[in-house]
Each structure stands twice: as structure tokens, then as C-alpha cells.
Amino acid sequence: MVHTEESIQIPRDFEGFGEEGHDCKWPNGARIAVSFILNYEEGGERSWQDGDGLSEPYLWEKGSSTGSDKPGGRNLNSEHDFEYGSRAGCWRIFRLMKEFGWNMTLWAIAQAMERNPEFAKACVREGHEIGAHGLRWLNFWDYTIEQDKKYIKDTWEALHAATGEMPVGFYFGRGTPNTHVLVPGVLASMNHKLLYSSECYNDDVPYWVDLPTEAHLAESEREGMLCVPYNYDCNDGKFHMAPGFGSSAGQDYESYLKSTFNMLYREGGKMMNIPMHSRIVGKAGRAEALRRFMLYVQSKEGVWVTTRREIAKHYKETFPYKFGSRTGGK
């Protein structure tokens, strides 16, 4: 059963930055910050061999078709589609990023990183960011507060051991209503600081929130939490869900990414997310559509393609936390 700890909930915000919006003042006068994010989950999903009683039925090539879920047994088709992501797809995306000289953020599942150490090491070597995505790619919505804290701690420790990098940002996507607010405190107990959370989908720009867990502190002692919003609408997972991209082909995907980029670029001061999966956009046909979008981005002036870590660093420096303010300020 889901437990919502009322004392640590962040209030909903329906106003945001209002009519005037918010200009993030990106470095060198860039009009837009572009964040490519690889959800690296292959090897951390539900698996018969890992004692889950089934092979993962969610977000693979057969989609939600009948027969993809086989409780009590293995589904080799599903397993092999996930393995395609770790054997071939991740390296194809890796080569694309290298071709353009760009860095991405990985939403990294610890067990997936452990099972592909060559890829983990290569990503860190090339300057890609390791972000925390969980111990395994599983729901943990029914955890108690203490189980939640342990999961957070174990995730950071396992990712550090697997990659050599201690994440400064996270997106679990499958946590409890309490996980978001618990992370900063758990990391503080580990003598590590959270730079940002992407456990939010409600804007096109970063923003600050006041932490209920800091309510006992003087305003000058509070640090708040920087939120760097994520999204689902540009997520390649929509090839395998409804409503999603019109077909398994990449053309609708490419067109939608370009439309999103065009609007945000014209508005200025915003950021764009391109969430990816090795087993989805890592397939050759879709990767070619992704590459065409990357060429389109490359052809534009004033584009900052970077990691979420760098976006958060810039925002924190330009708009430092100020209690009660979404934007912060000096």
C-alpha cells in the first residue's frame, strides 16, 4: 500500500513563472539548452533468472501485444530485446554522441551498469554524466520510509562502485510519494550533496523548491532543492505505448523532436529533453532518425548541448537558492 508522509510533501504549484516566463540566461547567449538522456536499464529489468518470476513485459519491441507477459516463465523474445540494447543499441548511441562531440546524461540503473562494465567505463571516460535511476528497474512505490531511505543509499553506493562516479542528480520515476524529498537528506548522511532532481515534469526550465525537511532551519541555513524538469512527450518509449508515435518508424519521432526544438528555440531561455533507451532508439532505423535530428540541431546557432549536471551548475550559479523563490537570486 502506498504511504504518503504528509509532513514532507512539497505543495503543488499551478502558477509557475506566469505570463513573463523565465529566461535561464544560458552561457554565451545560447537560446536553448539541449539535454540528451539515455535511460540505461538493460540488465536491471524484471527477469526470470533474477528471481522475479517473469521476463520484463514493458517497453520492448512487441509493446503491449498479447502474450508479452508470461508469468512463471521466461520470455526469450523480451530478454533478447533488452540484450540488444546492451550489446548493440547503447554503443550505437554512444558513437552518435561521439560523432557530434556532445555529452549526455545517463539515467543509470546500478545492476545494468554492473553487467556492462565496459560501457560504464567508456561513458565516464568520455565525460557523460552518470545520474541515479535506481538499483534495478522496478517499482518500489509501496516502500516504508526506512526502506525508501535504504534504497536511495544502496543506489548511490552501487552506482559509485560500478562506475567510479557518485551521481549528483537523479530520476527514479518509480518511487514512493516520499522519495523525491528524502534523497537530499540521505545523501547528506553519506557526506554527499545532491545538485539536482529531475523527478518532475511540470516546466521547460529549472526551478527551486523549498524543502519541508528543512523547515526547522533558519532561512539562511536552508539549501532548497533544484529541480531540472524531465518529460515524457519526447521520450522514445512512446514507440511502445499509447498514445505514442504513429508507427515503429522514426519519421514521426524526428518530426516531433524538431517541432519541440523549434518552439523552445524561438521562445529562448528554455531547455529541451531528449529521453532515449538503448533498446528503442538504439535500433538502426530509429537511430538514423535521431541522427537527422542531431544534424538539424547542429545546424542552428546558439544551441548549448550539455549534461544535466552542467545545466544545474549553471542555474545554481546564476540563480542561487533563495527561500520562497522559484528562481532564486543573488
In a domain, 17, yes or no: no
d(Cα 170, Cα 186) in Å, to the nearest integer? 13
| Grouped pLDDT means (10 residues each) for the chain, 330 residues | 92 95 97 98 93 84 62 83 95 98 98 98 98 95 95 98 97 95 97 98 97 94 97 89 65 92 98 97 95 98 98 98 87
Name the nearest CA neighbour of 253 among 228, 279, 274, 278.
274
Amino acid 144 reads: T
Amino acid 111 reads: Q
d(Cα 56, Cα 48) in Å, to the nearest integer? 9
Q: What is the pLDDT of residue 109?
A: 98
- Span between the terminal Cα atoms of the chain, in Å: 43
Q: Could you tell me if 178 and 213 are in contact, meaning their C-beta atoms sit under 8 angstroms apart? A: no
The CATH number of residue 201's host domain is: 3.20.20.370
Name the burial class of residue 307, with classes exposed (0-12), middle (13-18) and buried (19+) by CB atoms within 10 angstroms of its CB: buried
pLDDT tens for each residue of 68-91: 566 667 888 889 999 999 999 999
d(Cα 91, Cα 109) in Å, to the nearest integer? 17
Q: What is the pLDDT of residue 247?
A: 62
The half-sphere exposure of 89 on its side-chain side, counting CA atoms within 13 A, is 25
Q: What is the pLDDT of residue 76?
A: 86
In a domain, 324, yes or no: no
In a domain, 159, yes or no: yes
In a domain, 211, yes or no: yes
Q: What is the pLDDT of residue 181?
A: 97
In a domain, 147, yes or no: yes
- Give residue 207's domain range: 23-59+72-318
In a domain, 118, yes or no: yes
Quick count: other Cβ atoms within 10 Å of Cβ 101? 8
Q: What is the pLDDT of residue 61?
A: 81
In a domain, 181, yes or no: yes
Q: Could you tell me if 128 and 106 are in contact, meaning their C-beta atoms sit under 8 angstroms apart? A: yes
d(Cα 211, Cα 209) in Å, to the nearest integer? 6
The three three-digit cell numbers of residue 172, written as one number: 527514479
In a domain, 283, yes or no: yes
Total tally of structural domains belonging to the chain: 1
d(Cα 277, Cα 297) in Å, to the nearest integer? 20
Residues 6+ apart with CB under 8 A from 61: 81, 240, 248, 279, 283
Q: What is the pLDDT of residue 68?
A: 55
Compute the radius of gyration of the chain from its Cα atoms.
20
Q: What is the pLDDT of residue 251?
A: 77
Conformation bin of residue 191: beta by default, left when phi > 0, alpha when psi is -120 to 50: left
Task: Report the residue count for the chain.
Answer: 330
What does pTM read for this prediction? 0.95
Q: Could you tell me if 32 and 311 are in contact, meaning their C-beta atoms sit under 8 angstroms apart? A: no
Q: What is the pLDDT of residue 218?
A: 94
d(Cα 46, Cα 125) in Å, to the nearest integer? 29
Q: What is the pLDDT of residue 70?
A: 63
Quickly list DSSP for 201-213: -S-SS-EEE--GG
pLDDT tens for each residue of 11-67: 999 999 999 999 999 999 999 999 999 999 999 999 988 988 888 887 878 765 555
